[in-house]
Amino acid sequence: MRRIFTLPFVGYIMSYLDGDELLTKQEVIDEIMDRVQNQLWRSKDESIVEFATTVGVNIVAITNGLFWKKIDEKD
């Protein structure tokens, strides 16, 4: 049987089930980065380019496993 416990958090009472893990912001970001990196390594080059575009990296070409990135000109 799972136990429920509560934590006071900025005026709210939040309930968690025993077995849930409480993480810091840094730990959540680290876990996200690990999962994204693992997924990208298993992806095809086209999927990597698509993801790069969503985070603002402008890949203009792929040649033999190398990615050509558009250089942003500073005014």
pLDDT tens digits for range 14-73 = 666 666 778 899 999 999 999 999 999 999 999 999 999 999 999 999 998 899 999 987
Inside any domain, residue 1: no
Inside any domain, residue 18: no
Q: How many domains does the chain have?
A: 1
Inside any domain, residue 12: no
In the three-class reduction of DSSP (H, G, I as helix; E, B as strand; rest coil), residue 63 is classed as strand
Q: What is the pLDDT of residues 2-22, one digit of tens each?
A: 565 666 665 555 666 666 778
Domain range enclosing 71: 23-75
Residue 14: name the closest of 6, 22, 3, 4 by CA: 6
Inside any domain, residue 13: no
